[in-house]
């Protein structure tokens, strides 16, 4: 399948993007939408199978919803919760919240009752806009248990800050007596002046190692990061991005919804991931770019075998987050000739991706790194190489700064790094060192040319018989076995060794799990203390993941203890 060649070389596309926004002018999210609508009023901004919204239509819709928020009593600085999948209304509501100077609290749509209650209570949300149902989740039923009578009384004693609940009819029947999303749409009226350096979002970390915390991000931080995506990945004019990653997380939100604003492009969001639906969307809507995590990328490549579609519109692909299976990059290049593949690294605390491979980097950079520290042109800080985030690597035990190429904890600092976690001063103080560097919790290295390579998580490492074990090393060995599609290693307690490794394996279709064979495979390639004691089967759908595709290892450890009866 031959992809269309890019219209201009990478450097020329980057220069055109930089020129349009140099010097950088801080804006709010809503102001940026209005600016894009003035430049490209009739271009498509959001495309679905059922309808397309132009930039002008989306700006008008957002202004209408903003008027409804004001009429409902939402004021600058108020927190508004969103439990909404990738519906077009998510975009309209997101920009509307920004327009009135309120702060959005996008909630992970996979959250269950207690998780939802925690986020709403901890964020002190005054309004919640929630779907009635989505897939197997009944959000109104959850609210019935959390705060009975919410339809007319808000959150009551359980959620004292919550004044209003608005119901978005998604896959259910709504709720009689409750305020509907349609009722929010009103006259735009006069909107307040909003400071671009004010908070725009509180995004809760999914937590690979513990309870979620609310990361505070400003309008200007988000837009600088989104510009950085368009610039570093060399968007052509009108780039059209398809994704099913949830917009309640920075990946789909910043790299998709916001990034296309800087290229007059469009997003083609899906409500849920299906590899065949992804391919059909590329063909039907002429998508030029895909946002994926590696497991999704593999599924799309596999689906091509029995899904005859025209993918020649594709020019770019970002496959990032989670571990990259061996051979993935070569498969992509062999399948989509001429495609510009990029990968990166980031976290909510740093707004979005902070490293990325260049579209014209050698393939070896894809195979061996998570990208170069991201130059974002006029949106960056000249003092740190026009970047938003700088990194250094330190010894996790002593805090000593390590030389290029040495493995240690990655520390981040710069204008793209959050000032802290909402209403959690102790967690904020613990997250930063005395010089203001953020502990990422990630183990990695940065080479002399500024390319970063992830190794694992500091807290996911464990000691077996006193020896330090990094799970990613074992996972890499397991994933080159022909029967293994995914491997996730987590520690479990052991009376003699202190901790042992337990490997959860997703088996490739057509293969059977042979735990002893996999243990012997590891024993032939790893030191004895690194060989997992147990190999357990798991379905891909049952692997507990963060929104960015990282396995939640503390939950896997808990699952291991339950299945092995180690509690």
Is there a contact between 78 and 96 (Cβ–Cβ < 8 Å)?
no
Per the structure, the complete domain to which residue 156 belongs is given by 28-195
What is the average pLDDT across 285-302?
Answer: 93
Task: Give the model's pLDDT for residue 235.
Answer: 97
**Whole-number Å distance between alpha carbons of 238 and 2:** 20
The mean pLDDT value for 222-241 works out to 97
Residues 184 and 247 in one domain: no
Q: Tell me the CATH number at 316.
A: 3.40.50.12780
Q: Using the predicted structure, report yes or no on whether residue 14 has a pLDDT greater than 90.
A: yes
Whether 338 is in a domain gets the answer yes
User: By mean pLDDT, which of 1-5, 39-43, 51-55, 246-250 is the weakest?
Assistant: 1-5
End residue of a domain, out of 389, 424, 457? 457
Same domain, 158 and 42: yes
Q: Are 495 and 538 members of one domain? A: yes
Of the listed ranges 136-150, 417-431, 534-548, the least confidently predicted one is 534-548
Q: Say how far apart CA 117 and CA 287 lie, in whole Å.
A: 38
Instruction: Of 40-49, 261-270, 302-311, give the lowest mean pLDDT range.
Output: 302-311
* Dist CA 194 CA 419 (whole Å): 19
Closest C-alpha to 87, from 265, 247, 217 = 247
Arithmetic mean of pLDDT over the chain: 93
Of 513, 518, 543, nearest in space to 533 by CA: 518
Higher-pLDDT residue of 296 and 195 is: 195
Please report the beta strands in 395-451, taking only residues with DSSP state E, as ranges in sequence order. Answer: 408-413, 438-446
Q: Confidence class of residue 376 from pLDDT cuts 50, 70 and 90?
A: very high
Residue 552 belongs to a domain: yes
- Which CATH number characterizes residue 147's domain? 3.40.50.980
Q: Are residues 410 and 486 in the same domain?
A: no
Report the candidate in 433, 369, 354, 430 with the shortest Cα–Cα distance to residue 401.
433
> Mean of the pLDDT values across residues 317-328?
82
d(Cα 221, Cα 196) in Å, to the nearest integer? 9
The answer to whether 328 touches 319, Cβ cutoff 8 Å, is: yes
The verdict on 168 and 143 lying in the same domain is yes
Domain identity same for 98 and 238? no
Q: Does 11 fall in a domain?
A: no
Asked whether residue 549 is domain-assigned, the answer is: yes
Residue 50: pLDDT band by 50, 70, 90 thresholds? very high
Residue 4 has pLDDT above 70, yes or no: no
Instruction: Measure the CA–CA gap between 525 and 537, rounded to whole angstroms.
Output: 21
Categorize the per-residue pLDDT at 210 as very low, low, confident or very high, splitting at 50, 70 and 90.
low
The verdict on residue 21 lying in a domain is no
Q: What is the DSSP letter of 554?
A: H
Helix H or strand E segment including 379: none
> Mean pLDDT throughout 500-525?
95
Do residues 330 and 478 both lie within one domain?
A: no
Same-domain status, 118 and 267? no
Residue whose structure tokens are 């596309």? 13
Buried b (16+ CB within 10 A) or exposed e, 189-211: eebeebebebbbbbbbbbebeee
Residue 206 pLDDT greater than 80, yes or no: no
Split into its structural domains, the chain has a count of 3
Higher pLDDT, 327 or 99: 99
Residues 174 and 306 in one domain: no
pLDDT of residue 546 exceeding 80, the answer is no
Kindly report, residue by residue over 405-415, the tens digit of the pLDDT. 999 999 999 99
pTM of the model: 0.87
pLDDT digits (tens, 9 = 90+) for 151-163: 999 999 999 999 9
pLDDT cut 90: percent of the chain above it: 81
Same domain? 54 vs 132? yes
Query: Is residue 278 one of the residues assigned to a domain?
Result: yes
Average pLDDT over every residue of 428-432: 96
- According to the model, what pLDDT value does residue 548 have? 65
Per-residue pLDDT tens digits for 297-307: 989 999 998 89
**Per-residue model confidence as pLDDT tens digits over 125-157:** 999 999 999 999 999 999 999 999 999 999 999
Give the model's confidence band at 567: pLDDT under 50 very low, under 70 low, under 90 confident, else very high: low
* pLDDT level of residue 1 (50, 70, 90 thresholds): very low
CA-derived radius of gyration, the chain = 23
pLDDT band at 3 (very low <50, low <70, confident <90, very high): very low
Q: Please, which pLDDT band fits residue 318 given cuts at 50, 70 and 90? A: very high
Which band of pLDDT confidence, cut at 50, 70 and 90, is reported for residue 322? Answer: low
162, 195, 228 — which closes off a domain? 195
Domain co-membership, 83 together with 177: yes
Instruction: Find residue 72's DSSP bridge partners.
Output: none
């Amino acid at each position: 399948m031959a992809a269309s060649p890019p219209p201009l070389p990478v450097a020329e596309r980057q220069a055109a993007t930089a020129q349009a926004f140099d010097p950088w002018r801080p804006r709010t999210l809503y102001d940026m939408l209005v600016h894009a609508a003035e430049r490209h009023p009739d271009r498509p901004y959001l495309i679905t199978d059922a309808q397309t919204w132009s930039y002008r239509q989306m700006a008008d819709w957002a202004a209408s919803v903003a008027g409804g928020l004001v009429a409902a009593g939402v004021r600058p600085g108020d927190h508004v919760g969103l439990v909404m999948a990738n519906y077009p209304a998510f975009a309209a509501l997101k920009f509307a919240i920004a327009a009135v100077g309120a702060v959005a609290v996008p909630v992970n749509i996979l959250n269950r009752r207690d998780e939802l209650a925690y986020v709403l209570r901890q964020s002190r949300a005054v309004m919640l806009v929630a779907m009635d149902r989505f897939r197997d989740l009944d959000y109104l039923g959850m609210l019935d248990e959390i705060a009975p009578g919410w339809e007319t009384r808000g959150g009551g004693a359980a959620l004292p800050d919550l004044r209003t609940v608005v119901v978005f009819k998604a896959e259910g029947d709504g709720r009689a007596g409750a305020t509907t999303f349609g009722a929010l749409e009103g006259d735009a009226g006069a909107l307040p002046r909003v400071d671009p350096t004010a908070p725009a979002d509180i995004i809760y970390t999914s937590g690979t190692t513990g309870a979620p915390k609310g990361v505070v991000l400003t309008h200007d931080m988000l837009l600088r990061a989104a510009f950085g995506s368009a610039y570093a990945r060399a968007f052509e004019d009108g780039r059209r991005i398809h994704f099913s990653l949830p917009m309640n997380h920075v990946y789909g939100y910043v790299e998709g919804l916001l990034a296309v604003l800087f290229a007059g492009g469009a997003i083609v969001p899906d409500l849920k991931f299906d590899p065949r639906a992804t391919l059909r969307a590329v063909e039907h809507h002429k998508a030029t770019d895909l946002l994926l995590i590696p497991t999704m990328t593999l599924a799309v490549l596999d689906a091509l075998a029995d899904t005859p579609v025209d993918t020649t519109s594709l020019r770019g692909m970002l496959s990032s987050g989670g571990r990259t299976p061996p051979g993935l990059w070569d498969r992509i290049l062999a399948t989509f000739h001429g495609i510009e593949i990029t990968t990166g690294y980031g976290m909510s605390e740093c707004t979005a991706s902070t490293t990325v491979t260049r579209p014209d980097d050698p393939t070896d950079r894809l195979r061996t790194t998570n990208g170069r520290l991201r130059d974002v042109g006029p949106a960056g800080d000249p003092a740190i190489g026009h970047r938003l985030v700088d990194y250094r690597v330190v010894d996790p035990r002593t805090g000593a700064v390590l030389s290029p190429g040495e493995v240690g904890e990655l520390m981040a600092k710069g204008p793209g790094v959050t000032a802290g976690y909402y209403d959690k001063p102790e967690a904020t103080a613990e997250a930063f060192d005395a010089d203001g560097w953020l502990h990422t919790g990630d183990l990695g290295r940065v080479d002399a040319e500024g390319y970063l390579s992830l190794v694992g998580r500091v807290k996911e490492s464990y000691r077996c018989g006193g020896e330090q074990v990094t799970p990613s090393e074992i996972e890499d060995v397991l994933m080159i076995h022909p029967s293994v599609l995914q491997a996730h290693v987590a520690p479990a307690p052991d009376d003699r060794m202190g901790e042992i490794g337990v490997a959860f394996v997703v088996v490739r279709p057509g293969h059977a799990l042979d735990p002893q064979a996999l243990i012997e495979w590891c024993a032939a390639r790893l030191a004895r203390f690194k060989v997992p004691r147990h190999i357990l089967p798991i379905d891909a759908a049952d692997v507990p993941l963060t929104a960015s595709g990282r396995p939640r290892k503390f939950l896997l450890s808990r699952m291991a203890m339950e299945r092995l009866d180690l509690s």
